């Protein structure tokens, strides 16, 4: 069991709807969230009986690859190692399941996420231009860290 200080990481077996507020921290499009919220498996971080974070793992078409579809930590609990603990547990679970690569995608505008994943050993793979458009369910004019939200970057971690 992976633990950040006073946090237990475990499989979430209840309905995903109870995690919707946390999922919404990582997804600006309600349409996209509806599309993937019930996919794959979810590990949660529990602190004092409250769920304070999650990571969602979804199988890819290639059996050796797993996608880290979504990750969030409650805003009041960020910066305490919970996100790192969730990713470390996701890595261990993926490796144990026979995966050789963990994929993750994030906005090119989100420098905090890019820094987070690279510190954990992820490497950039490719850029997907114009991924965050109104036709994909994202509001016009979204900005992250003062940068227009337009493109998505894919990163990989060799397991």
Q: Where are the domains of the chain?
A: 8-158
Mean of the per-residue pLDDT values of the chain: 94
100-118 confidence digits (pLDDT tens): 999 999 999 999 999 999 9
Task: State the pLDDT confidence band at 40, using cuts at 50, 70 and 90.
Answer: very high
Task: State the pLDDT confidence band at 1, using cuts at 50, 70 and 90.
Answer: very low
Task: Tell me the backbone φ, ψ of residue 86, rounded to 5 degrees.
Answer: -65, -45
Q: What is the CATH number of domain 8-158?
A: 3.40.630.30
CB 81 within 8 A of CB 6: no
The length of the chain in residues reads: 159
Task: List Cα–Cα distances, 41 to 8, 44, 54, 103, 124, in angstroms.
Answer: 17, 10, 10, 15, 24
CB 91 within 8 A of CB 157: yes
114-142 confidence digits (pLDDT tens): 999 999 999 999 999 999 999 999 999 99
What's residue 5's pLDDT? 64
């Amino acid at each position: 069991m992976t633990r950040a200080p006073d946090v237990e990481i475990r499989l979430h077996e209840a309905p995903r709807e109870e995690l919707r507020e946390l999922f919404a921290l990582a997804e600006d499009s309600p349409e996209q969230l509806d599309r993937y919220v019930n996919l794959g498996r979810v590990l949660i971080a529990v602190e004092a009986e409250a769920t304070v974070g999650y990571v969602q793992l979804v199988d890819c078409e290639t059996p050796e690859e797993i996608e880290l579809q979504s990750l969030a930590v409650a805003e009041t609990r960020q910066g305490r190692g919970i996100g790192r603990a969730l990713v470390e547990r996701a890595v261990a679970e993926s490796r144990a399941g026979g995966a050789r690569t963990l994929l993750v995608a994030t906005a090119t505008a989100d420098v905090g996420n890019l820094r987070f994943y690279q510190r954990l050993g992820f490497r950039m793979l490719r850029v997907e231009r114009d991924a965050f458009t109104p036709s994909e369910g994202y509001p016009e004019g979204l900005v992250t860290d003062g940068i227009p939200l337009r493109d998505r970057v894919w990163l990989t971690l060799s397991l």
